[in-house]
Chain A
Amino acid sequence: MIAAPSPTGPVDTRGPAVRSGRRHVLDMDDFSREEILGVFQNADAMAEVLNRDIKKVPTLRGKTVVTLFYEPSTRTRVSFEQAGKVLSADVINVSASSSSAKKGESLYNTALTLQAMNADIIVIRHGHSGAPHFLARHLDSCVINAGDGTHAHPTQALLDLYTIHNHLGDIDGLKVAIVGDALYSRVARSNLWGLTTMGAQVTLCAPPTLMPVDFLDGKRTEEGHPFASVQVESNVDRALEDADVVMVLRLQLERQHAGHLPTLREYSRMYGINERRLSLAKPGALVMHPGPMNEGVEIDPEVAHGARSVIEEQVSNGVAIRMALLYGMATPARQRTSTRGG
């Protein structure tokens, strides 16, 4: 499936009022501009904690955060783990390959087990679009989507927006080029939502075989839809012209075998971001990549490690943003039972 099925039934992701804690973080299109700016503000405070000698605050003491990763990940999982630990939460990491999932235990039963263990927040990455929404519908725990299928990766989009905000200020009106394997990219989808919410002028650039036509169709022609202003381009030089931000997507190498590309070398020659192409963008343009990079394929090493690359900052911003999100979850109050009478 290319387009993600919407979850059956509404999932209430907010608390009763804007400033109450959030029940879930599932989608990027669920965040208003004000809420995104609020997350940035809290991330600033979290960044200050990450600069201290002792990176520890008692905010989530006694809360349990479980990371449930059905797909491999280094940076995202470690990022959530660090975020939880700095906030003094108890963090438990479950990777599906070493868990009962191998014995065939269903996602639902795994999650019920975790809830019975008092998981306050479940952070899930899963290969099927909609898996986090499924958990959110059936569990009391708060759920954070760390990437579901090809559907969404809201925490990545938030840290990308935050990185842009820190360098270039107001995102409204900025020209952002997203280049690469957009068809299979939940990062691209979530960034499309986030960037258009913040008022950026987005150009999506991909080879025609990797353009998410189903996802975009209808939305761009719909009256008043935030995607109406999204430009679609298959020529990367044109897409990069005057860009303030160049967001490079990872080429998922498996696609080559599925017939989407003739060869990796041809992709790299036609779409790879090198110094020459980068010079078409604005002088101070930012180069971003969600990682992990295929250096020499979608991005040249000189660009990836060059002066305009903010790729490493994206990683450290990821911890601050995830701390801000964990802080903002509406975790249920503990029922304290007295062991003494009266």
Chain B
Amino acid sequence: MAQDASEASRIEAGRRILTSDEIQRALRRVSHEILERNGGGGNLVLVGMHTRGVPLAERLAQTMSEIEGETVPVGAVDIGLYRDDLAGGSRPFMQPTDLPDIEGRTVVLVDDVLYTGRSIRAAMDALNDFGRPKQIQLAVLVDRGHRELPIRADYVGKNVPTSRNEEVDVHLVEIDGTDEVVLGRRNEA
């Protein structure tokens, strides 16, 4: 989840809960799990959720093609048009939604952090406008708890119990120049 400059200053410097190596290993394990659960990459589509879900999806696809030798198509979805919290709130700048054919395929949604579940709900609405997948599964790097909707992840890199005034900050080389996951405490404003 992106933090803008004013947000970052409100979060105390946190502690690292996943190192670069740990992220790599978790993603490798998740790649294997996805292939195992689905009997190979044949009917799969990986769809990354903007912003950091996209490089994660690409990394999973890369690992899967190394394991099984076949290419799994990768798409990207921006949920900006499907959010339930638009009223008066912030208006993030949107990234392009670009999806391969998902009709009748098993779509694995990929995101960096699973929290309330509302982003996933929005992503499923978005997918619905593009076709009717056979199945939708969910892979996340971090599950931090506090679900507000009946949504769960099928594949989890790491479970991190958090409190509501903590913030999970995922940094990826492709976007932030480094690989790490940091747990910070949000200062009461």
Q: Do A and B bind each other?
A: yes
A interface, over-half SS? loop
Closest to A330 in B: B88
Residue pair B91, A58 in contact (C-beta under 8 Å): no
A54 to B91, CA, bound (A): 24
For chain B, the bracket of interface size reads 20 to 34
A21 to B130, CA, bound (A): 28
Q: Assess whether B90 is interfacial by the CB under 8 Å rule.
A: yes
Q: Which of B40-48, B67-75, B77-85, B149-157 interfaces with chain A?
A: B77-85
Residue pair B91, A21 in contact (C-beta under 8 Å): yes
Q: Assess whether A44 is interfacial by the CB under 8 Å rule.
A: yes
Q: Which residues of chain A are within 8 angstroms of B81 by Cβ–Cβ distance?
A: 45, 49, 57-59, 87, 327
Closest to B125 in A: A58
B interface, over-half SS? loop
Contact of A59 among B4, B86, B98, B130 (CB under 8 A): B86
Residue pair B91, A19 in contact (C-beta under 8 Å): yes
Residue pair A17, B95 in contact (C-beta under 8 Å): no
Q: Assess whether A48 is interfacial by the CB under 8 Å rule.
A: yes
Q: Please, could you name 23 A-B residue pairs with CB atoms under 8 Å apart, sorted by A? A: A20-B90, A21-B88, A21-B89, A41-B94, A41-B95, A42-B80, A42-B94, A45-B81, A45-B97, A52-B129, A52-B130, A56-B129, A57-B81, A57-B82, A58-B82, A59-B80, A59-B82, A87-B81, A327-B80, A327-B91, A330-B88, A331-B86, A332-B88
Residue pair B92, A19 in contact (C-beta under 8 Å): yes
Determine how close the nearest CB of chain A comes to the CB of B8; give it in whole angstroms: 14
Q: Assess whether A333 is interfacial by the CB under 8 Å rule.
A: yes
**A-contacting residues, B104-160, CB 8 Å:** 125, 129-130
Determine how close the nearest CB of chain A comes to the CB of B88; give it in whole angstroms: 5
Contact of B93 among A17, A38, A59 (CB under 8 A): A38
Residue pair A41, B91 in contact (C-beta under 8 Å): no
A340 to B53, CA, bound (A): 41
Q: Assess whether B163 is interfacial by the CB under 8 Å rule.
A: no
**B-contacting residues, A229-246, CB 8 Å:** none
Known contacts A19-B4, A56-B129; A42/B93 CB under 8 A = yes
